[in-house]
Structure 1
């Protein structure tokens, strides 16, 4: 099936929109190509953009010196015609692929698999490809992983596009300030709009539905004019396992956005290969140090995985990288005729070091059983550093007391109820938080077993900037 001239014209317009062709090498795309080759144990992998008359390689692992090829029939050109992965087990058996230059030329490609890089409005810009010099087949899980890597490339392109737009706006604002100071307020509004757009690309638009789990999150930025450094995510690992994380990067603005992007995609990619959360943090530590060898691009982080338990609930394994402890909330229980005991306690990950600051950083892990009716709560320091109506710092002790009261009063320990309670608390702080606030809660549902079909969990998600106390 070929694209009609009108469809191809729209697709090329989408390629031009991302302004990616003929740009210098980029570490994020190079890492995705290398990860694809490693995941498939293949000799080569590429990230390509299909132009009007050529296939251009944004990243080419294992194909030294290759920057572009003609838009020959088969392989990349064929892969963008379908919305699912294209697999050619043996190119010599394929009547179209056998004459492709990568097959007949020095590369001698005998195996080819690709997933299209697809925009939100359905245009296929190019592909993430895996190539080998011997015929082979892939598993359904590998096909899914290849699709996930193509989605990561698309996320990176969206983030890059947002950053480019932000830079263009910043240059325009400098010129405007010299031309007319009376336009400054309008310019500030434009910056806030672009900062909000860029911030949204760094956070999941909604949390996925996990059978047997309720998930809820909230993000409040301390400034509508800058990109914050807090982040969180929940994503599938396959075979019924899931991963989640929450953390805080050093700095703010464009550097923090770039660092957050690197962290998010490194965690998502590495977690597909490493089952040990500490190994995932070690891989992230190496990636951050490679991107910033002086240790200035670091973060604090809690990373965890969850798997359904045989009797309901989940087994959670948490790894700490210098971040604040998570809190484990359990329903209140009666201890004697006149005493109700609230069961809320921090999950200590003491000893976990900052991620990206030291070459040989140590990380610690701990396993927690999240039974039906129980919840896990993660947060950033913007919550504990906020000032209450009395002017005092809310602090770790204030948070622990608030969560204990929440559990003791018998209110629902569902994730959405916990996040709603804490966002209502934030509204009572007169000046709002002085730093960004990220909140993530996970609760095991008592009415739905962990083997329930998709759609059994509820998700609440908000991402709202806190209005500054003085907007003038």
Structure 2
């Protein structure tokens, strides 16, 4: 006969609690041991002399060794390359002894096939309750991906550095080529004019860009000399092309007709016809003729939209030779140009310049230097001839610093200065 009132015991009811705990403990130990053995990083424990007492399967597989070959038979340093051993002895071991632990030290271990494997090593000394060192627990991380990344990073940096050096070399060659081209647009040196002194200076605002300022001085015949100074709108190769065209047009025009207005008119026609169908190109310029005479120099010049020439007199005064109304060259098919005449006596200097000088920015508020400041500066300089004035203006340009952001051309002409009493040359 069956008993229907017999109760069914709950799970665990009537079982040995201690036996259950033992099962769970065993499972946990098995899991911990499996995690230790198959971890994605290497583990080992060594005695204080470095003898390996325990090592996991992961590290053994990296090394290509059996456990029996390692445990109790090898020391940690036996796993390292020659360089790794040296670093361990000189840095790793002393740091571990002093601090009790080291973290993330880069070493190389010897793998199967005698290959070198980069690793990151972290070690910590395990001590007793009394603080006595017992053993060293070490974790070894595979650093091959990191080493590959660092190698690629170094390669990238080296490539970038090489590219930078190549770029600097290319820039230097470009600047050299631009300097040569810029010089080809200017006279190599001013010719010697009997009874006169001439001086010039060219300031390049940027070594990477061709400027459009130009000047020249050349003979017309045995008694007369032509000069000009101008400024082409813009910079770069296009401006250089206009500069070259302007120089040779003015030279050719002067040999055909020495009248300054006619020379500028010819240049206006050439520029307008050349660039009328595309981007407009124009310039400003002063063209003149010098005729040395007995003790003085006659000057006949014309201006097309250019700043007025400045005359420094031997008596210490300075003033502009005004040429109002002169139009830009190359803008319109017909243009009006203004002529002027002057006589230069010994000690006088005729100064021509481009607007980079008067449009320089000065002072904390970066105001324009201006025409009046230039006249005042010239007045304060001793009247010692063209070269002395150009030297003084060169120093002035240098004093502007980054306030001088445009090319500047200077041309000074005048009768040979009188000898100063008591001074021999």
TM-score range (shorter-chain normalised) is 0.5 to 0.7
Give a deviation string over 1:15-68, Cα, whole Å, max 9, x none.
Answer: xxxxxxxxxxxxxxxxxxxxxxxxxxxxxxxxxxxxxxxxxxxxxxxxxxxxxx
Report the Cα offset of residue 393 of structure 1: 2.2
Provide the residue aligned with 1:419 in structure 2: 390
Deviations 1:135-189 (A, max 9, x none): xxxxxxxxxxxxxxxxxxxxxxxxxxxxxxxxxxxxxxxxx99x94653222221
The structure 2 residue matched to 1:395, chosen from 370, 393, 398, is 370
1:153-172 paired onto structure 2 within 5 Å: none
- 2: CA distance, partners of 1:259 / 1:388: 30
Task: Check whether the contact 1:326–1:379 (CA below 8 A) recurs between aligned residues.
Answer: yes
The answer (yes or no) to whether the contact 1:413–1:443 under 8 Å persists in 2 is no
Where do residues 258-407 of structure 1 align in structure 2 (5 Å cutoff)?
258-294=241-277, 296-309=280-293, 311-332=294-315, 342-390=316-364, 391-406=366-381
User: Is the contact made by 1:231 and 1:260 (CA closer than 8 Å) also made in structure 2?
Assistant: yes
| CA positional deviation for 1:432 | 5.1
Which consecutive unaligned segments of at least 5 residues does structure 1 have?
A: 1-175, 333-341, 449-457, 459-472
1:329, 1:413 within 8 Å by CA — same for their partners in 2? Answer: no
Written as runs of structure 1 = structure 2, the 5 A alignment for 1:437-452 is 437-447=408-418
**Given the alignment of the two structures, is residue 197 of structure 1 paired with residue 180 of structure 2, yes or no?**
yes
Q: For the residues of structure 2 that align with 1:404 and 1:443, how far apart are their CA atoms?
A: 16
State how far apart, in whole Å, the 1-side matches of 2:414 and 2:222 are: 20
Deviation at 1:343, TM superposition (A): 1.9
Range 433-442 or range 380-389, more displaced: 380-389
Which stretches in structure 2 are left out of the alignment for 5+ residues?
Answer: 1-158, 420-424
Matches within 5 A, 1:202-241: 202-241=185-224
Residues 348, 383 of structure 2: 8 Å contact kept: no
Higher Cα Rg, which structure: 2
Q: Distance in 2 between matches of 1:433 and 1:297?
A: 24
SS at match of 2:362: coil
**1:270-307 deviation per Cα after TM superposition (whole angstroms, max 9, x unaligned):** 10110211011111111111211157111000000011
Distance in 1 (CA, whole Å) between partners of 2:176 and 2:360 is: 25
Q: 3-state DSSP class of the match of 2:209? A: coil
Residue in structure 1 matched with residue 237 of structure 2 by the alignment: 254
- The within-5 A match list for 1:96-115 is none
Cα deviation for residue 387 of structure 1 reads 2.2
Q: Spell out the pairing of 1:128-167 with structure 2 (5 A cutoff).
A: none
Name the SS of the counterpart of 2:214 in structure 1.
strand
The answer as to whether partners of 2:312 and 2:383 remain within 8 angstroms in 1 is: no
DSSP-derived class of the 1:268 partner = helix
Q: Tell me how far apart the structure 2 counterparts of residues 393 and 361 of structure 1 sit (CA, whole Å).
A: 29
- Provide, for residues 410-465 of structure 1, a one-character-per-residue CA deviation record: whole Å limited to 9, x for no partner: x23300000000101112123151000100101112449xxxxxxxxx9xxxxxxx
Relative contact order, higher structure (CA 8 A, sep 6+): 1
Matching residue of 1:47: none
Conserved in 2, the CA contact under 8 Å of 1:230 and 1:436?
yes
In 2: Cα distance, 1:202 partner to 1:427 partner: 23
1:22 corresponds to: none
Q: Which residue of 2 aligns with 1:118?
A: none
CA-based RMSD: 2.1
Rounded to whole Å, the distance in 1 between the matches of 2:276 and 2:164 is 40
Number of equivalent positions: 259
Whole-Å Cα distance in 2 between the matches of residues 417 and 227 of structure 1? 28
Q: Is the 8 A contact 1:325 1:346 kept in 2?
A: yes
Q: Distance in 2 between matches of 1:273 and 1:376?
A: 25
TM-score (norm 1): 0.53
